[in-house]
Chain A
Amino acid sequence: MTAREWKLRSFIVAIMIVTTLITVFLVSAAVLLLRIPVIEAENQREVQLHANEYAAHVQVLLGGIESRLDVLANTHARLSPSQFEALLEQMAQGTRGIHALYLVARDGTVVAAGLGDNVEIFRGDILGSDLSATPLFRRVIDRGQRQWSDTYLSALSGNLTVGLATPAGPNHVLIGEVPLASVLDTVKMLAREYAPPLWVLDSRGEVMIETGNGPRAGRSNLKGLPILQAAGDGEARTADLEFGGKRYHAGVAYSEALHWHFVTTTPAGLDNPRVLSTVLIVVAAFGIAILVSIFLSPTWAQQLAAPLDRIVAQARETAQGGNGRWPRGRIAELNALSADLESMAGALRELNVELEHRVEKRTQALAESNESLSNTLARLEQAQHELVRAEKMAALGGLVAGVAHELNTPIGNGLMAVSTLSDQAREFRRTMQEGLRRSDLEHLLGSVEQATDIAARNLSRAADLVTSFKQVAVDQASSQRRRFELAEVVGEIAVTLGPSLKRTPYVLTTDVPAGLALDSYPGPLGQTLANLINNALLHAFDGRDAGHVHIAARLADDGMIEVDVTDDGKGIPAGLIGRIFDPFVTTRMGRGGTGLGLHIAYNAVTHVLGGSLQVDSAEGQGAHFRLRLPAVAPAAAAGDIHEV
């Protein structure tokens, strides 16, 4: 895995954005974590305060009604029934919030009523009605003190009403009907001033009113809510409320007189405007930070990257040999870098010039030595050619010397016979002057016959030698191509080398069957064979008393002609055998060996005759050279042939 390569500007932008995000995220999280619980606690306190206020206001309102009813009940004993009824009437009509007043006998029968204007028509219906079964009446009778009722349907109006009842003397109960609407109007009025939504629940948990944009309970019964059960003991308590799948902070206040619950709510969590606005502010800050970082960081990155880019550009220009001005900006480190690079570039340039000088000098020196080496090589090649030619000439010279020596004997013998004959002739002439006798003539004839016979035999031998030599010389000097018998060439070589071998203890034998005909170059072949034999004589048998070189030939299965030259000499060392065909390889350097014999033989076989030459030898076990020659040599340029 290789790390991705970034552009500096992108990298700076990314770093700036990431840094901004992390910072803003941490700050936002801290703000939210610290601030939201505080807001929630504040909200919680606030709704509780509001609930208490609602309860207190309603208590004040109802307290006024209670005190009026108490006053009325107290006056009952002191007034006549008609006076009291008139008072009831006056109170019912003049007191806001009281809708009707009944004086009820202990058996539940309504004995007097004070009715508001709009219900006056029911007076006949009301008087004499039986209220004995109503829960409110029964509670007052049971407890003997002032009681508020739950909401109920007014028997008078059929509307939802709360009733207040108080004993009026020992035999009567005074009941006031307070229409729910008037209480609730008061609550609604308050609710307009105080923001939190409100539920007013009666003692059974029925929702009598809900205000504002709070959770919609509708016409429901909320007695089952945990907060009401917790607050059932009358103690105000603040708690969270789950309603309709949402969470609210709820304040609960309980009205002792009415047994009502006032429940104020404010949404909890994100539904709460304060929490929401806090979150939105944080989110907005987050968003603005992101936008600012997204829009500004490229500029900042540009500010930072541009001088660096200029330095980089200058560095590239300098690297390509340019010589511009190194930039300076407002960032100290970059200026330092630029300055350092500038001095470094200067130093580099000087070094470069120096290096070029040095290289030039070296190149010149190398060129010179190269030229001298080339010259030397040319001279060496020339020397090699000269040596090869000299070697060939030397071989020819040796041959001539041998032949000359060989000719010496027959020619000497002939000369001696002729000179003896000449002596005999002079003797015969002198004798003839003295007198010729038959015996003298016969003696002369005998001498002539003998002398001519000797001369003829020796001259014949000399002629043979010359013929043989002539062929070898012609072949080796001219390298002419012709058809010949292998046996002939081998025989001529054997004959040619015969005089040299006679003076050594070594023996050359041949086993070349007749009929191995070649269309090839007899000169190079003969020279090859002569070189191989000479190699054996000079190296293989060096320091030995006896040695045997054997030449054998045969026709191979593939049509090639194989000529084996074997000796029983001391063999070729393993370290030398790989290079014996290389020029100037010799063990007798300085003792007459040129190191060219086998090289010439190898070149002749491979280049002229078109065959191959292999050697097989181990130290102490003689050597075996094998020539494989095609019956027809490949056509070769005459120049090549003369080179060899």
Chain B
Amino acid sequence: MRLRTLLTALLALLLAACGADEPIRIAFVGGLSERTNDTGESGRNALILAIEQRNAAGGINSRPLELVVGDDGQDPDTARKAMSELLAAKPEVVVGPYTSSMAAAVLPLADSAGVVLLSPVITALDFAGKDDMLIRLNRTTRDNARDYARVLLARGQKRLAVAYDVRNRAFTESWLAELAAAYEGQGGELVARVEFTSAANTPFGEVAERLQAPSPDGILFIAAAVDVARLAQQVRKLSADTPLSAVEWASTEQLLELGGRAVEGMLLAQSHNREDTSPRFVAFRDAFRARFQREPGYSAIATYDAAIVLFDALAKRGRGQPLKQAILDNAPYPGLQHEIRFDRFGDSYRDIFFAEIRDGRFELVR
């Protein structure tokens, strides 16, 4: 009798141990080593925070979450290699990537592996309206470009010079095309389109000169924060007062640190409201600051939203149900600042907030 009890207990323990030990693996892919590492790192940190919080609360259905991180290096080959390694670890989902070019590189791998690619931030229109394994939380470049065109024209900038980074061509060219259509449609003129490659040896002074040459009403940067900061520094040497603006991609804390006075007055759109005082947002922001000694940027917030979606869908997923279906079926989700809904292609929408940099901080433009 006692032996049987003992055996039963052992067996139960073994089963419990097996059940508890099998973690849900979540992969992350984003730029972590290169020039755009601020969005990638910020997103990864938000995912780390979300996973740590969820594990502390008992995981999902008693299974802990485990993060595997891949660095796409902002290079298609590196990205594919990283993605293959991540997929070899059999993750439930891959969160990322954070730039459209990388999405273009890794999406075929995700599609063939049947693993959901949950991208918090990418906006390129190429990815919208397709029934693939990509689920996007952000709006599209078209939405953003239209809003920028409207706001810039309202500010009296009718002649606009644009610099765009062809390393993230999928995003920047899509963005530029949408802008051109909207801007020129409303009577504006793009007087300079200067492409550059974000790299260590890029001569930013030359790029600034070419932008400034036609004496535009304003200059728009379609680039990441580090490049925007450096371009702004160079532009400011040529002109102290040409209004500067940059796409939402550059809207990070790094822009403030590297840009210094050069980025003062720069107009940017942000996919979240930095001045939100709702307890939920404040709690997240404080937790993020405490954990990483940084402000959460837009990619952190979008990634945290992605984690909310992911955890909710994983918890509610039926036995054998594909994750993509679970994500679409269980919408809407309570995001940090908005209710997250999806269309049948796994595309979403979120509000946009325009801000100016004043005294080294982003301030909402009313």
Contacts and interface: CB of A to CB of B under 8 A. Distances in A.
B343 interface: no
A145 interface: no
B37 interface: yes
A155 B259 CA distance: 9
B338 to A, nearest CB: 27
A158 B230 contact: yes
A178 to B, nearest CB: 16
Interface string A103-125: 00000100000000001011011
Given A129-B262, A155-B229, A224 B204 contact: no
- Sorting the interface of chain A by its residue count into under 10, 10 to 19, 20 to 34 or 35 or more gives 20 to 34
A121 B69 contact: no
A133 B291 CA distance: 22
Contact of B292 (A158, A204, A244): A204
A132 B256 CA distance: 10
Interface string B238-269: 00000000000000001011111110000000
Contacts, number: 98
A125 B48 CA distance: 37
A158 B230 CA distance: 9
Interface in A141-189: 152-153, 155, 157-160
Contacts of A217: 69
A223 interface: yes
B8 interface: no
Interface residues of B, number: 47
B76 interface: no
Contacts of A224: 48, 52, 291
A206 interface: yes
A130 B262 CA distance: 7
Interface stretch (B136-144, B194-202, B313-321): B194-202
Nearest to B231: A125
A398 interface: no
A131 interface: yes
Contacts of A223: 291-292
A203 interface: yes
A204 B257 contact: no
A204 B48 CA distance: 13
Contacts of B68: 218
B226 interface: yes
Nearest to A121: B203
Nearest to B357: A133
B204 A131 contact: no
A134 B230 contact: no
Contacts of A132: 260-261
A218 B204 contact: no
Interface of A: 108, 119, 121-122, 124-125, 128-135, 152-153, 155, 157-160, 203-206, 217-221, 223-224, 244-245
**Nearest 9 pairs between A and B by C-beta?**
A130-B260, A219-B32, A133-B260, A218-B69, A157-B200, A129-B233, A130-B261, A158-B35, A219-B71
Given A218-B69, A219-B70, 5 more contacts: A128-B233, A130-B233, A130-B260, A133-B260, A219-B41
Interface of B: 21, 23, 32-33, 35, 37-38, 41, 44-45, 48, 52, 66-71, 198-205, 226-227, 229-230, 233-234, 236-237, 254, 256-262, 291-294, 360
